[in-house]
Amino acid sequence: MHALRPLLLSLISFTSFTFAQSLPIDVREATISSLHSSLFSGVTTCRDVVSAFIARVERFNSDINAIITLNPDVLQIADSLDVSLSTGNATGALFCIPILLKDNYDATPMPSTAGCLALNSSTPTHDAPTVAALRRAGAVILGKSNLHELALEGLSVSSLGGQTLNPYDFNRTPGGSSGGTGAAIAASFAVFGTGTDTVNSLRSPASANSLFSFRPTRGLISRSGVIPISYTQDTVGAIGRCLYDIATALTVMSSVGYDSLDNATSAIPPSTIGTDYTSFLSSSTSTSSLSSLSTIRIGVLEGFFNRTSTNETSPVNAAMSTILSLLQTAGATIVNITDTTTYNATAISSAMDVQQLEYRESLTAYLSSPNLKGARPLSMPELYTTNLTTPEFLVIPSQYSYVETALRSSTGNASYFTRQSMIANLTRTLHSTFLAHNLDAIIYPEQKNLVVPVGSPSQSGRNGILAALTGSPVITIPIGFSPATSSAPIGIPIGMEILGLPWSEGTLLQLAKSIDDRLHARKMPVTNGLNETVEVTTSYVTVPEVTLLRNIPAAYPLGVY
């Protein structure tokens, strides 16, 4: 067992702030709307709100190990927003909304580590465009969340942050790679958090933590200023506890528009620029036409289910059966897509995944950027240089082949062009499936089985590869839980993906709302008191340095590549 380390890991001095808390505030399951109601009615202040979230992190982070670092400027930012509030200048869709960033987003003054010890001094000189947009909208960035090391797997274990645990069952992983964000938002450490998604990483933590997320159409949101893996497959997005909050995040993050540092954004249709995605959730507008579901046609990918009857797969299949019955009862037409040769997640991933061929070039370009300061490896090969005496990175056994391939491969390989051709064919086939069946969306479980236990070799059974390769948008929603056990008092969360054609985020949000309004599957975790309030009991309190436990299972030795 590794010793306790300071949350800021000696990178940033987090002064012991003092502040006055005028009224207790309950931040459990807090939303943008609920916090704005309290703020704008004068019930609370921005400092009170931020302090309440910090207190919750202090109380519960040691249980789930979700946070890598806190923002040392956070209380000063809250004070400045209170000045704006008092003078009638409180503007922005995210005014005083505390959020967390996955620790592969550039955000000053915090390092961008991707959970890697070798990057613990790598600090950006300016914010990623999406982070700048969130700040302009009034968001308060509380800090950075843990992730699977360099976002290369779905177990959410890293050399810097340790193993994040699932708040619904401490014996299980929280999904990944954005598992720190998923666990933190499920535990109400912030209102929502950001993540990245190369294959599953925004959707897996949402599914495993009874949350909502979006993976946008490739190109809708700039990816610059985020530690990369794959130009073809990377996207950025948000994870939250309700649809309105992630729709607001989508609105703000997509407001960046065209970014010359990410030429995928040149594909944005003019009609989508400036879209307010929350409008698709309003029953008072014409965009709510999906609420009846009577005219909706939904495809179901049979190849994305595991019909074997086990304790790990049966709860997922049962939850999906409930959804299908609900949709049919509401009048939706269900179309079974039985082509399990084309729509086979394992086969698609094996044949077409290109991240290993793009990783070395992408990461080297990021590490060598003049936008970073501080000691760090300047290339991907330098990062993975063997150092058994003082290891600075974590490579789990299932990743050895991945790293070896990435070290010797590039986009110049003949196999890269073959795979890109196969991706183009898959994309055309998917679009043809939509057209042939006149579909509004396609649904399937995010994971064929329950999220895996801590110590598992990989996050098996996930279905995210289809959207990752085709650049399709997805909304992930909670749809239920497995039966309760002694370690999972209310069961393990189960989530579903709703996939659409490019630029159909609005339609997917409408459909997600129609389902969620009928299902209301989201439940907060209760394990070890996570459902309890955390109150400031004195009029003046000190927010001390928070610590985290680098709880890395012995099965994952540091730096043995």
Q: Which helix (H) or strand (E) holds 167?
A: none
Check: CB of residue 218 under 8 Å from CB of residue 264: yes
Q: What is the pLDDT of residue 318?
A: 98
Q: What is the pLDDT of residue 518?
A: 95
Q: What digits encode the pLDDT tens for the residues 329-345?
A: 999 999 999 999 999 99
CB neighbours of 202 closer than 8 A, spacing ≥ 6?
A: 178, 195, 196, 213, 214, 215, 235, 237, 238, 239, 476
Token pair for 33: 């709307």
Q: What is the pLDDT of residue 6?
A: 38
Q: Which residues of the chain have pLDDT under 50?
A: 1-21, 285-288, 537-545
Q: What's the CA angle centered on 243, arms 241 and 249, to 5 degrees?
A: 90
How far is Cα 306 from Cα 302, in angstroms, rounded to an integer? Answer: 9
CB neighbours of 236 closer than 8 A, spacing ≥ 6?
A: 105, 130, 194, 195, 196, 197, 216, 221, 222, 223, 226, 253
How far is Cα 163 from Cα 454, in angstroms, rounded to an integer? Answer: 8
**If you write DSSP's letter for every residue of 351-372 in order, what string do you get?**
HH--HHHHHHHHHHHHHT-TTE
Q: What is the pLDDT of residue 285?
A: 47
How far is Cα 438 from Cα 418, in angstroms, rounded to an integer? Answer: 30
The torsion angles phi and psi of 445, rounded to 5 degrees, stand at: -70, 140
Q: What is the pLDDT of residue 203?
A: 98
Q: What is the pLDDT of residue 158?
A: 96
In 3D space, the residue among 238, 485, 203, 481 whose CA is nearest the CA of residue 345 turns out to be 203
Q: State which fold the 32-517 domain adopts.
A: Amidase signature (AS) enzymes (3.90.1300)
Q: What is the pLDDT of residue 107?
A: 98
Q: What digits encode the pLDDT tens for the residues 13-68?
A: 333 333 344 567 899 999 999 999 999 999 999 999 999 999 999 999 999 999 99
pTM: 0.94
Sketch the domain layout of the chain as residue ranges. Answer: 32-517
The torsion angles phi and psi of 512, rounded to 5 degrees, stand at: -60, -40
Q: What is the pLDDT of residue 391?
A: 78
How far is Cα 480 from Cα 518, in angstroms, rounded to an integer? Answer: 12
Q: What is the pLDDT of residue 129?
A: 98
